[in-house]
Amino acid sequence: MQRALLLFLLFPIISLSQTLTGTVKDSLDNPLQNANVIAKPLVEKQGLKFAIADHLGRYKLELEKEVPYEVRVSYLGFQEEILTLPVNFTIREYAFKLKETGQELKEIIINYEYQPVVVKKDTLIYDVKAFTNGNERKLKEQLEKLPGVEVDENGGVTVQGKKVTKFYVENKLFFGGGTKLGIENIPADAVDKVEVIDNFNEVGFLKQVSDSEDLAMNIKLKEDKKKFVFGDVEAGAEVANDNGFYLGHAALFYYAPKTNVSFIGDMNNIGKRTFSFEDLMRFQGGVSSFISGRRQLTDLYSFAADNADVLENKSQFSALNFHQEINSKLDIEGFGIFSKLFTNTLT
């Protein structure tokens, strides 16, 4: 006869946060979409918590335990409402009902010490320093800390579930408008604010007469950081018997509000392509140039392919691209490429 002994070990589950959910509506019980819900800690060395009401007026705040909060809810044309929460509050759900101010306002400026997010019609403006601690190196790390913003492993950005399709810096399309190059290279200490513009149209007045599915992100830089250089450099060498292999590659970029300069250089003897498809897109105006069907006067695809089916392959390559804004009606863009290739084949 066999006996089985079952042991149940009980471990205390410790939660370091507590959740407050609810809705934001007007006096007629209509939901107030995009209402700001800001939880300000009433003690020092604690960060703000922030939420934006969805299309049904619902919000959700993840608050720290052992911290008292003052929750402020605001919406354009309505009176602000304040809820004070003590330490370890027991309320789990709270419905805010805002009263109209009775005034027709086109825009309102709230003179308030904490204003991490501003909502203006189709535009969300994040004050980056309210959500970051200063230890971030690149823009990608900052975006991952903004409420409602997600960054995937391929460099794509979504805001409240909608994918960003155009990427700008200081209102200028950044290297074709893709997000990957910008978020992975723009230094974090240069970023002041992040603007997210829904139903974006490059021609402003057309927003009133045509619908757009584009979601644009515009990075506002600090005044002293509006010119910067970024990029990457890689190098390697290997010696095997009498043969040696080497590789050197550099991709450097200079950005200023009216001037963009790109440089790509490469030396290798391993048959590695010297000009990737991503490099090709940057030099020809980014993804937008392919979508628009703009006619190209040169064929650069031959530079973007590997050539390893040879006995020996030595290549030297460099390319320079520039974009200069002369005035509001005239831009000048051009590129130059140098390529020297030696191959040894056997038939």
91 versus 335: which is more confidently predicted? 91
Residue 218: pLDDT band with limits 50, 70, 90: very high
This prediction has a pTM of 0.55
With 0-12 CB in 10 A as exposed, 13-18 as middle and 19+ as buried, what is 52? Answer: middle
Among 54-63, 105-114, 319-328, the range scoring the smallest mean pLDDT is: 105-114
The CA distance from 90 to 257, in Å, is: 51
The CA distance from 144 to 179, in Å, is: 14
Q: Is the pLDDT confidence value at 8 over 60?
A: no
The CA distance from 335 to 322, in Å, is: 6
**Highest-confidence range of 60-64, 187-191, 216-220, by mean pLDDT?**
216-220
User: What pLDDT score does 291 carry?
Assistant: 47
Q: Is the pLDDT confidence value at 295 over 80?
A: no
User: What pLDDT score does 109 carry?
Assistant: 61
310 versus 132: which is more confidently predicted? 132
Q: CB atoms < 10 A from the CB of 58, how many?
A: 14
Q: The tokens 């200023």 sit on which residue?
A: 256
Q: Is the pLDDT confidence value at 112 over 80?
A: no
Q: What CATH number was assigned to the domain covering residues 14-101? A: 2.60.40.1120
> For the chain, what is the radius of gyration of the CA atoms?
27
Give Cα separations from 143 to 127, 147, 174, 342 (angstroms): 11, 9, 17, 45
Residue 113: pLDDT band with limits 50, 70, 90: low
pLDDT in tens, 241-261: 666 788 888 878 888 878 888
Q: Please name the helix (run of DSSP H) or strand (run of DSSP E) that holds residue 280, with its range, or none.
A: helix 277-283
Q: Is the pLDDT confidence value at 56 over 60?
A: yes
User: What pLDDT score does 106 carry?
Assistant: 58
Tokens at residue 266, please? 């490469």
Residue 275: pLDDT band with limits 50, 70, 90: low
Residue pair 86/67 in contact (Cβ under 8 Å)? The answer is: no
Residue pair 65/16 in contact (Cβ under 8 Å)? The answer is: yes
Q: Please name the helix (run of DSSP H) or strand (run of DSSP E) that holds residue 143, with its range, or none.
A: helix 139-143
Residues 201-226: what's their mean pLDDT?
72
The CA distance from 151 to 140, in Å, is: 7
User: What pLDDT score does 247 carry?
Assistant: 85
Q: What is the DSSP string of 123-134?
A: EEEEEGGGT--S
- Collapsed DSSP state (helix, strand, coil) of residue 304: helix
Residues 268-283: what's their mean pLDDT?
67
The CA distance from 322 to 42, in Å, is: 51
Q: The tokens 């200079």 sit on which residue?
A: 254
Residue pair 92/20 in contact (Cβ under 8 Å)? The answer is: yes
8 versus 145: which is more confidently predicted? 145
Q: What single letter denotes the amino acid at residue 100? A: E
Residues 47-60: what's their mean pLDDT?
85
pLDDT in tens, 125-166: 999 988 888 888 889 999 998 888 889 888 889 987 888 988
Pick from 50, 201, 230, 254: nearest CA to 139: 230
Task: Name the residue ranges covered by the structural domains of the chain.
Answer: 14-101, 115-224, 228-344
Residues 290-318: what's their mean pLDDT?
64
24 versus 280: which is more confidently predicted? 24
User: What pLDDT score does 134 carry?
Assistant: 82
User: What pLDDT score does 13 carry?
Assistant: 47
CATH superfamily of 115-224: TonB-dependent receptor, plug domain (2.170.130.10)
- Collapsed DSSP state (helix, strand, coil) of residue 292: helix
- Collapsed DSSP state (helix, strand, coil) of residue 291: helix
CA 105 to chain centre: 31
Residue 108: pLDDT band with limits 50, 70, 90: low
User: What pLDDT score does 7 carry?
Assistant: 45
Residue pair 52/34 in contact (Cβ under 8 Å)? The answer is: yes
Residues 70-77: what's their mean pLDDT?
88
- pLDDT, averaged across the chain: 78
Q: The tokens 């409420």 sit on which residue?
A: 147
Q: Is the pLDDT confidence value at 240 over 90?
A: no
Residue pair 195/171 in contact (Cβ under 8 Å)? The answer is: no
User: What pLDDT score does 94 carry?
Assistant: 93
CA 217 to chain centre: 7
With 0-12 CB in 10 A as exposed, 13-18 as middle and 19+ as buried, what is 256? Answer: middle
The CA distance from 213 to 281, in Å, is: 23
